[in-house]
Amino acid sequence: MREIIFDTETTGLDPKSGDRLVEIGCIEMVNRVVTGNTFHAYFNPDRDMPAAAEAVHGLSIAFLSDKPRFHERAGEFLEFIGDSMLVAHNAGFDFGFINAELEMCGLEPVSKTRMIDTVALAKVRHPGAKLSLDALCTRYGIDRSHRTRHGALLDAELLAQVYVELTGGRQIGLSLVADNSETLAQPVAAPARERTFRPARPHAASEAELAAHAAFLETVKSPLWNE
């Protein structure tokens, strides 16, 4: 099973108001294991960079000014993701920006049926807990000491580890069922045991036992059963 874990950085919060995608980082996973294949790109947004956004990811217009526009690498991006499921933290946000950029290129949007949102997964797994990527890394003991600012590829790397934990850890890929059902062990009936019937033991007291009991009663002073 191939999945793409990804993250984006943008100029703001709303593509409908003119905000643009400036970075995307994608990591390939197969059967919950990172393969080492990645796609990473910076984009020139052809607009200014608000100070609040730059404070989050550190990407200035000066840095982005010589980077390609999204449409120049859109084909490469689409080829990398293929038809795989796409995993992101608060995925609706990232899908919104990607599809806005694809629309400006005259390309088909990525279907939201391919979207896996790790925030939604975390809400089910840890109801009432903090759901930020930092909080989940702390919960699962994932080292993020090298993360001083947001970065699409770095955040995707951290999210890949979080996603594995949210979906059951490394054991999820193990199978204890044989591939061929004919090879499964069948229950074996225990051999029937031959039972030997013995006559019931006599329960009446012997003459000697009765005499011993009568002698004992003679020693009891003022027995209650005589009152």
Known catalytic residue: 89?
no
Q: Which two tokens stand for residue 60?
A: 């200035």
- Where b means 16+ CB within 10 Å and e means fewer, 59-90 reads beeeebeebeebeebbeebeebbeebebbbbe
* Separation of alpha carbons 198 and 195, rounded Å: 10
- Residue 135's φ and ψ, nearest 5 degrees, are -65, -40
CB 21 within 8 A of CB 152: no
Q: Which of 183, 184, 138 shows the shortest CA–CA distance to 161?
A: 138
- Which one of the listed residues 126, 150, 203, 213 is annotated catalytic? 150
* Separation of alpha carbons 100 and 24, rounded Å: 14
Where in the sequence numbering do the catalytic residues fall? 150
